[in-house]
Amino acid sequence: MKGDPDKYIPKKDLIDGCYYYGKCRNAHIARWSAEKERFYHWRHKFAAVFIESIPCPEDEFNYDVFFAFAKLEAKPLDVEEITFEGK
């Protein structure tokens, strides 16, 4: 995926419960939780699929973060429904 990390959506503009198209080491789509102040994404590893959380760039300076570039208007079709503690 292409995207300039300097042009990500700032944390203050993220909307609770929304899906975002972006970039991190293991995902291109993630959902923002304002309560937890983290993104959640579906990690595929070998035959397993599980949910991982990842911080936004403002909260982490040394490890992987999710750079959100665009808000998705609807839940992606290939994203499994999960229990979510935000909206």
15-19, 68-72, 77-81, 83-87, range with the lowest pLDDT: 83-87
- Concatenating the DSSP letter of every residue in the chain gives ----GGGPPPGGG--TT-EEEEE-SS-SEEEEETTTTEEEEEEEETTEEEEEEE--GGG-SSS---EEEEE-SS--TTSPP---S--
Q: How far apart are CA 82 and CA 18, in angstroms?
A: 13
Q: Assess whether pLDDT exceeds 60 at residue 82.
A: no
Mean pLDDT of the chain: 84
pLDDT at position 50, please?
Answer: 80
User: Could you tell me the pLDDT band of residue 81, with boundaries at 50, 70 and 90?
Assistant: low
